Structure 1
């Protein structure tokens, strides 16, 4: 139900819609030498939205931007993931930020995006879990990553953070 709603609401700006592919689809999103990697396997669904209209990178060679989040401080990418397995259905919405050095701003952008999404897509109706990914330039004090509000906003713990590049395959599949 959430997948269909997102496809409807964001029909004009879906960067990549992968629904039960025949083979593994590898996705790479990069901006300013920061990169996030993940895969969508047969029996899975992935929906990738570039929600930051100032995103200057590339995500699977697509450059479509979503207008929906325009008036909000937002992270770079929204990834919807579903495993399509009736025995253990996992629906995760992961907010991804690729940031240079200003980790404080990145965390604020992620929080704004999550709050906006949760207001628009009530979790009691759509039943999903929220995750957050930050790929950054390094040098940030560990205390920056222990934001109490962010911890309350996300269901997939811990908050995923890496320096320069991160593979989030396991993270997007967590329940």
Structure 2
């Protein structure tokens, strides 16, 4: 074999190796992108579910005045059920999550006390009114901040293609 054939053979071999490396890297990147896209999609679904649960809860606590005292146990059970659903969607280790759950728990306890109280209901109505207003404000603000942070994290992960743990 002459020098010309060796150069041609080596050129073909180098081209083949570069092509195979390129295919391998492309496949690896495609798999990584599919994984990141799947995780990002699921996180967006999770955020929407959490928004819905929080919205339902806030709507429910705002109806405290419309509840017949004889049916208060059903109402309190509904609030506890909502609390548990929200709890399952949040991270029990994260401080913002804990704070949201703390407000929900405290609000449920106050509402439960409201229905079991034998105080003058006119005086206590004003108290529960303030408690519910404050709870709605606090839970709404915390939730908005929490969801905004999560959204920013999702956008960053989508842009960079790397998931944060």
TM normalised by structure 1 equals 0.29
Which has the bigger relative contact order, CA under 8 A and spacing at least 6? Answer: 2
* Pair member with larger Rg: 2
